[in-house]
């Protein structure tokens, strides 16, 4: 069984057990998350204690591991007690307001793809566009983009909100959170396109890793009896992945770890698909596979 788990990517069946498990090849940490964790590890080794505005990534198990090594999660700068203050900017970035503080050294783990969107927003603002951000308004990445876009902006979460949008501006630009779904972005763009603008520009800034992950997971979900999506419940990209798979397979379950697996998810199921969010550690997949095999036996 261990041998099968190491193989991890793609289809496998151990030939003895009855359940066939298909694991998405786009599983485990994405490039941006791996990079952020490497930077944080190096900083912790050098500094001992560092602070992070919110969780470094949206996976409670991984964050707990980093807390044990000296990473302290804060919501406000006043929570920082020590005189030498090192503040880690998580992979999804933060609002520029939070960066205007003195006596703090920043350790920036913002994913380059998120930085790219921030740069586009800054540019659009300078050119006077009304900026429409497709995404989850409570997500730190979106809050950061709103902070950069300023007052001449809004966030749209779905097609209904796009339909109800009443704008005076004749010059608008549409961009997306890096972990939005392509389907939401296209639907909202189509709705906005019906409005009376003199100029509308759009930037599909959903990151490629997110798109590949969603495409492959949906294609697996179509073929299997049950689809398991592993990742933090607070992870936007994992929730969107589950939503995408649920559209093609109602037996899609979003779990954080093997502990959330229920017998009813597995009972009488011959084919099970597995995909993960971008902040899910590879060992979480092994644990779920082992749990399914235990159920088999």
Single out the residue of 21, 33, 43, 87 in contact with ligand SF4 (rule: CB under 6 A): 33
203 binds ligand SF4 (CB under 6 A): no
Number of residues that bind ligand SF4 (CB under 6 A): 15
113 binds ligand SF4 (CB under 6 A): yes
From first CA to last CA, the distance across the chain in angstroms is 12
With contact defined as beta carbons under 8 Å apart, do 140 and 93 qualify? yes
Q: Of the listed pieces 2-10, 31-39, 218-226, 227-235, which binds ligand SF4 according to CB under 6 A?
A: 31-39
31 binds ligand SF4 (CB under 6 A): yes
Q: Please report the sign of the dihedral spanned by the C-alpha atoms of residue 268, residue 271, residue 277, residue 278.
A: positive
In the complex, minimum distance from the CB of residue 123 to ligand SF4, in angstroms, rounded to a whole number: 18
Separation CA 278–CA 257 (nearest Å): 14
Print the binding letters for residues 206-225 with ligand SF4: x by CB under 6 A, - otherwise: -x-xx---------------
Give the pair of three-digit tokens for residue 261: 């697996």
With contact defined as beta carbons under 8 Å apart, do 222 and 195 qualify? no
Give the pair of three-digit tokens for residue 237: 């990209």
In the complex, minimum distance from the CB of residue 226 to ligand SF4, in angstroms, rounded to a whole number: 25
Print the binding letters for residues 178-197 with ligand SF4: x by CB under 6 A, - otherwise: xx------------------
Active-site residues, by number, are 141
Q: What is the bridge-based pairing of β-strands 271-276 and 226-230? A: parallel
Question: At how many degrees (to 10) do helices 31-47 and 112-126 cross?
Answer: 100
| Residue number with CB closer to ligand SF4 (80 or 111) | 111
Separation CA 241–CA 210 (nearest Å): 9
Give the pair of three-digit tokens for residue 153: 């902006």
Give the pair of three-digit tokens for residue 23: 């694991």
30 binds ligand SF4 (CB under 6 A): yes
In the complex, minimum distance from the CB of residue 165 to ligand SF4, in angstroms, rounded to a whole number: 26
Residue 141: C-alpha distances to residues 145, 193, 253 (Å): 6, 25, 25
Residue 142: C-alpha distances to residues 54, 164, 165 (Å): 14, 20, 18
Single out the residue of 107, 114, 241, 245 in contact with ligand SF4 (rule: CB under 6 A): 114
In the complex, minimum distance from the CB of residue 208 to ligand SF4, in angstroms, rounded to a whole number: 7
Partners of 156 in beta bridges: 134
| Residue number with CB closer to ligand SF4 (240 or 258) | 240
Q: Of the listed pieces 28-36, 66-74, 185-193, 241-249, which binds ligand SF4 according to CB under 6 A?
A: 28-36
Of residues 116-175, those binding ligand SF4 (CB under 6 A): none
Which residue is closest to ligand SF4 by CB?
32
In the complex, minimum distance from the CB of residue 117 to ligand SF4, in angstroms, rounded to a whole number: 8
In the complex, minimum distance from the CB of residue 110 to ligand SF4, in angstroms, rounded to a whole number: 9
| Residue number with CB closer to ligand SF4 (58 or 258) | 58
Separation CA 193–CA 162 (nearest Å): 10
């Amino acid at each position: 069984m261990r041998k099968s788990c190491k193989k991890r990517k793609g289809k496998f069946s151990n030939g003895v057990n009855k359940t066939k498990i298909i694991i998405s090849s786009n599983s485990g940490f994405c490039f941006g998350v791996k990079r952020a964790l490497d930077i944080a590890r190096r900083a912790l080794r050098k500094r001992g204690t560092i602070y992070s505005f919110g969780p470094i990534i949206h996976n409670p198990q991984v964050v707990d591991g980093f807390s044990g090594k000296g990473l302290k999660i804060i919501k406000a700068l006043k929570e920082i007690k020590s005189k030498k203050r090192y503040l880690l900017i998580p992979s999804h970035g933060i609002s520029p307001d939070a960066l205007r503080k003195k006596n703090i050294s920043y350790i920036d783990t913002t994913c380059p793809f998120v930085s790219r969107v921030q740069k586009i927003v800054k540019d659009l603002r300078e050119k006077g566009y009304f900026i429409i951000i497709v995404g989850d308004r409570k997500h730190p990445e979106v809050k950061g983009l709103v902070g950069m876009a300023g007052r001449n902006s809004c966030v749209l979460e779905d097609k209904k909100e796009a339909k109800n949008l009443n704008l005076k501006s004749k010059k608008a630009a549409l961009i997306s959170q890096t972990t939005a779904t392509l389907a939401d972005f296209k639907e909202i763009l189509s709705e906005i396109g019906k409005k009376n603008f003199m100029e509308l520009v759009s930037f599909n800034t959903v990151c490629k890793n997110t798109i590949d992950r969603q495409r492959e997971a949906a294609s697996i979900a179509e073929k299997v009896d049950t689809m398991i999506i592993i990742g933090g419940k607070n992870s936007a990209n994992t929730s969107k992945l589950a939503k995408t798979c649920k559209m093609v397979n109602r037996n899609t379950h979003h779990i954080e770890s093997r502990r959330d697996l229920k017998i009813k998810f597995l009972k009488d199921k011959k084919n099970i698909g597995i995909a993960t969010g971008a902040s899910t550690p590879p060992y979480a997949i092994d644990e779920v596979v082992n749990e399914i095999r235990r159920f088999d036996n």
